[in-house]
Structures are given as structure tokens and as C-alpha cells.
Amino acid sequence: QVQLAESGGGLVQTGDSLRLSCVASGLTFRFYRMGWFRQAPGKEREFVAGISGNAIDIDYAEFVKGRFTISRENAKNTVYLQMNSLKSEDTAVYYCAAKGPGAQNYAYWGQGTQVTVSS
């Protein structure tokens, strides 16, 4: 079965950086669009960034443009989220997700990794 495992979260201070990783198994990784989402306490889950299977098509939420970078290594079945200049409002559980070819929605989700930014 498909499994997505995030890692790299933690407690940091405002202005610090973190790199999240998500390792996928049970799917042909290079065919899947990968995304990062986040959910803060009391808020709905929101899109952060997405990357196509060939890494050509990338998009970001406005609130992370210029600070976060999504990338992937298909040989390692891994997608990354490099987060720089972290703000307290970036505090959330971060999830990676996978969307198959032709699919409208992200069908597979990881368990999430907590990112806490203290001011």
C-alpha cells in the first residue's frame, strides 16, 4: 500500500530554517504530483506547495513565495520542503500528499510532522 512518511519538523525560532522530507513507498513515485499542506490549530488544512513528477511544474501558496522551496529526488522517492525565514504563523502540522496521473485530488497523505516557530 502507499505510504508517505514525513520528517524534519521541530521547534525553531523566528527567522530560522528547516527542511522537511517525505519518503514515499508503494507507488511509482515519478508519476505522482507531490504536495505539501499544513494545518494550524483551529484552522483548516491549507495548500503550501506542489511539484509535478518531472519537477517542471511547481506552485506555491502566496504566503510562502520567496521563503519556501519544494523539490524532489525521484531516485530516492523523496520530496522536500526547504523553509527559510520562518515566522510564528508558520507553526502547524505539515503533511505531504500524492496525486496520481489524471487525478483531481491528492489521494494519499502522510501522518504529518509538527513545525513550531517561537517568537
Confidence bin at 29 (pLDDT 50/70/90): very high
The per-residue pLDDT for 79 is 98
pLDDT over threshold 90, residue 105: yes
| pLDDT tens-digit readout, 45-89 | 999 999 999 999 999 999 999 999 999 999 999 999 999 999 999
CA angle 29, 79, 81 (to 5 degrees): 160
| CA nearest neighbour of 86 among 18, 9, 36, 7 | 18
How far is residue 99's CA from residue 62's CA, in Å, rounded to a whole number?
Answer: 21
pLDDT over threshold 90, residue 22: yes
How far is residue 32's CA from residue 97's CA, in Å, rounded to a whole number?
Answer: 10
pLDDT over threshold 90, residue 119: no
Q: Residues 77, 3: contact at Cβ < 8 Å?
A: no
CA angle 118, 85, 111 (to 5 degrees): 65
Q: Residues 83, 67: contact at Cβ < 8 Å?
A: yes
23 forms beta bridges with 5, 78
Q: Residues 115, 10: contact at Cβ < 8 Å?
A: yes
| pLDDT tens-digit readout, 91-101 | 999 999 999 99
